[in-house]
């Protein structure tokens, strides 16, 4: 066994498996730029190492795989009017695409909290494992941002309008719903993970998984909500979605409407537009290119700074959005998020055939 420690990312090889452990448990393994670069470096090395036949991603600690990007750093960047976050997102999104096309089995243990950037590191992988502790979410509209890391690709391809519901409300889902929505493939109880990992170091994942197939998958609450979710979220505007939710007569729909009411109005409108456009794009790479434009535009909006302040910095949970209401968000403000960034500023990928999960 070899072991190389890089503080926030632990890298080791054990048997035929390369192990990547996100190692910021005190910060719920939130991603920094250096972590993204380190993971990219080791994936390159292992791709060309015949001794490594598969990769396993996991998180240190008991709380989760990864809570997302380091939004305190993004807040400082946005508040200062600097652009370090653009470099971070550029490398992060390239890593997301790399994971989706990785030529060796890429196994992600989506145990505990898996949000934002954590979804980007795991849900594009070839083998995605959830547990009874999994809480999977793209909660960006609550901080004045928009789902990224390929999240609009994944959620736009979930059954019916489930992805629209999750993207707009930021609702965290458990293992059954994660599998229903196409964000995970397999379920293992969390107390099986240690043995599963041990087995994986000695045999290919295709041989190991069948040995762990006896667990009963928890239920899928969203499956029972499909009728009202599909009907309400099929609307063309966020205002109409709100109206349908409020008028449905169902308590769950009213609760969803209340969740939307607390989110950034601009983020909601941009998110809906991003999802609808993502449905029409033919690969993960094309969606990531779109998301980079959206993220770059969001970096200069007041809602991103204010949302992170309210949720993470001051934790008063009372963001003052600008504009404060949906009807005040002009269509031009939405379209600005999708405008070309100019020569040399775009994120671009080589032309590929369809990639990702659809």
Active-site residue list: 69, 117, 140, 148
Q: What is the distance in angstroms between the CA of the first residue and the CA of the last residue of the chain? A: 37
Distance between CA atoms of 313 and 301, rounded to whole angstroms?
17
Q: What's the full length of the chain, in residues?
A: 358
- Using omega within 30 degrees of 0 as the cis cutoff, is the peptide bond preceding 234 cis? no
Q: Any residues with CB less than 8 A from the CB of 261 and at least 6 apart, and which? A: 242
CA 233 to each of CA 38, 153, 314: distance values in angstroms, whole numbers, following the listed order: 39, 17, 32
Maximum Cα–Cα distance across the chain: 60
What one-character-per-residue DSSP string does 110-151 give? Answer: E-BEEETHHHHHHTTSSEEEE-TT-EEE--GGGGT----TTH
Token look-up 């769950």 returns 252
């Amino acid at each position: 066994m070899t072991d190389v420690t890089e503080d926030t990312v632990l890298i080791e090889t054990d048997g035929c498996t390369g192990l990547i452990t996100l190692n910021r448990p005190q910060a719920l393994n939130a991603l920094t730029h250096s972590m993204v670069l380190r993971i990219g470096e080791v994936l390159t090395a292992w791709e060309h190492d015949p001794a490594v036949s598969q990769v396993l991603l996991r998180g240190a600690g008991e709380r989760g795989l990864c809570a997302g990007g380091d939004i305190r750093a993004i807040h400082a960047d946005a508040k200062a009017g600097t652009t370090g976050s653009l470099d971070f997102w550029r490398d992060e999104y390239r890593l997301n695409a790399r994971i989706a096309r990785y030529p060796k089995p890429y196994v992600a243990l989506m145990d505990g909290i898996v949000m934002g950037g954590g979804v980007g590191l795991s849900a594009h992988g070839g083998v995605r494992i959830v547990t009874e502790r999994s809480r999977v979410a793209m909660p960006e509209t609550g901080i004045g941002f928009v789902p990224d890391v390929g999240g609009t690709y994944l959620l736009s391809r979930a059954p019916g309008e489930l992805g629209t519901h999750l993207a707009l409300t930021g609702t965290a889902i458990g293992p059954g719903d994660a599998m229903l929505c196409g964000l995970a493939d397999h379920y293992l109880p969390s107390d099986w993970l240690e043995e599963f990992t041990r087995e994986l170091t000695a045999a290919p994942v295709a041989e190991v998984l069948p040995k762990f197939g006896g667990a009963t998958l928890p239920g899928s609450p969203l499956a029972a909500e499909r009728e009202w979710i599909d009907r309400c979220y099929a609307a063309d505007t966020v205002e109409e979605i709100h109206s349908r939710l409020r008028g449905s007569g169902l308590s769950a729909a009213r609760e969803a409407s209340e969740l939307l009411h607390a989110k950034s109005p601009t983020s909601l409108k941009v998110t809906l537009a991003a999802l609808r456009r993502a449905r029409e794009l033919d690969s993960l790479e094309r969606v990531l290119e779109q998301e980079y434009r959206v993220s770059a535009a969001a970096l200069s909006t007041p809602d991103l700074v204010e949302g992170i302040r309210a949720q993470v910095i001051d934790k008063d949970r009372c963001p003052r959005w600008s504009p404060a209401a949906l009807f005040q968000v002009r269509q031009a403000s939405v379209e600005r998020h999708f405008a070309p960034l100019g020569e040399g500023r775009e994120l671009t990928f080589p032309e590929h055939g369809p990639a990702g999960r659809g």
